[in-house]
Amino acid sequence: MKRCNIKRRPLADTVLEALEPEEKEYREKDSNNLYFRVQTSGKKSWQLRYKTNENKWTWLGLGSYPETSAVRAREKAMEITLRKSNGEEVKTKKRILKEEIDLEELKFKYLLQDWIETRKKRWNEVTFKKAIKSLEKHIFPNFGERNFNEITPKDWLDFFKGLQKKFKIYNQVEKLTSYCRGAYDLAKFQNKVTSNPLEGINEYLDPYKKGNMNFVSYDELPELILKIRQYPVREIVIGLELMILMFPRPSELRLATWDQFDFDEAVWIRPASIMKNNIPHAIPLSKQSICLLQELKENSGVSNLLFPGRNSFSKPISDNTFNTALKRLGYDGKQDPHGFRHIASSQFNKKFSGVPQVVESALSHLKKGVKGIYDKEAHYEERIGMMQWWADELDMICNLKG
């Protein structure tokens, strides 16, 4: 049926069924502001023409035909007209969808994800993974789905105070607040927010007292080494002794792989990806270190990791493994794996006080911009003798104690 043959309105069911599509879609008025739409494909539907709160005409879909009958379409049109007369805003599906998208984009997780992207090129792999793990554990579950404009300064303060009280993680909380504050700072430059609810928050949190990790005195070190050698898990014994002999950062040893070691050249070449300064660094291996490493390698199996996890050859042991061993030996709060660096640093600075730059290099305190593992600024050749002296010194004090 051609629409030119329509005789009356509202449209009869026989007319609705018979209306034919044309080269262009068209709308036929049914009653008041209710229209019947016929598309070029033959698809038919109901639409209501109305004015928005901004006094602009627009269309609102009321359903397809014949799923939505003429009677039901007229009822819907009447209901919406009454709601409009009562001052209620009527929204199109497109408007509703846009508002849902806008609300989704206001979730804090998107601010945080944008900020995380800016860190990828600035942080080394180890630091980046630690940050993500901490955020996924504490921030995303609690704030990720919330509207970032509605999270108040009090919400943040109460949350971080709760973390400090429950877990005693003062250093981690300090880092988490800096991450979240950074996300809001970036959002300010993107014109998403005008203020940062975490500004000044650390003034009201319990402070993290920066300083060295726990460590025993040098006089107590021989007794600790002898106790370590009695620990029942040989791989952990070797790991702790290597910590003392080479004093790497704990994560560097935990993530070490066999392809980083050259026994013929007696060197451990640590790649930039596991280094705090994101600079490759070489440690000369003492004879004692090589002996322990060779023993470890003989029992390491197929994994390329020196210390693979219990359930996976491709994943390293937990970052708490060495610390847990020290606690079981009775050194909880007395000695941390990182504390071995302090002990070595103190003794190196006494013995080699005339070459402080070499000591700093031995501790991988390298300035950014240093290039090359064997660069002269890394003082590699000078450190070969220093590392062997330290290993011999440890043997001597342990023999004296024994």
DSSP for 293-350 reads: HHHHHHT-TT-SBSSB-SS-TTSBPPTTHHHHHHHHTT-TTT--TTHHHHHHHHHHHH
Q: What is the pLDDT of residues 201-242, one digit of tens each?
A: 988 998 765 555 789 999 999 999 999 999 999 999 999 999
pLDDT-based confidence at residue 375 (cuts at 50, 70, 90): very low
Query: Measuring CA to CA, which residue among 248, 214, 205 is closest to residue 344?
Result: 248
Backbone angles phi, psi at 268, to 5 degrees: -110, 115
Per this entry, what is the length of the chain?
402
CB 258 within 8 A of CB 304: yes
| Domains 106-204 and 218-401 fall in the same CATH topology | no
The mean per-residue pLDDT over the stretch 373-377 comes to 44
CB 71 within 8 A of CB 46: no
Q: Name the residue ranges covered by the structural domains of the chain.
A: 3-98, 106-204, 218-401
CB 132 within 8 A of CB 140: no
Domain 218-401 is of which CATH architecture? Orthogonal Bundle (1.10)
How many whole angstroms separate alpha carbon 241 and alpha carbon 246?
A: 8
How many whole angstroms separate alpha carbon 103 and alpha carbon 123?
A: 31
Domain covering 106-204 in this structure, CATH number = 1.10.150.130
3-state secondary structure (DSSP) of residue 47: strand
Query: Measuring CA to CA, which residue among 101, 167, 111 is closest to residue 134?
Result: 167
Q: Which two tokens stand for residue 364?
A: 């991988």
pLDDT-based confidence at residue 278 (cuts at 50, 70, 90): confident
Kindly state the percentage of the chain with pLDDT values over 70: 92
- Residue 274, pLDDT score: 80
Helix (H) / strand (E) containing 380: helix 380-401
3-state secondary structure (DSSP) of residue 147: strand
Query: Measuring CA to CA, which residue among 263, 318, 335 is closest to residue 295?
Result: 263
- Residue 319, pLDDT score: 81
How many whole angstroms separate alpha carbon 222 and alpha carbon 398?
A: 5
Query: Residue 324 above 90 pLDDT?
Result: yes
3-state secondary structure (DSSP) of residue 64: strand
Global pTM value: 0.54
How many whole angstroms separate alpha carbon 54 and alpha carbon 194?
A: 27
Domain 3-98: CATH superfamily, name plus number:
Integrase, DNA-binding domain (3.30.160.390)
Query: Residue 370 above 50 pLDDT?
Result: no
Tokens 């969808």 found at:
97
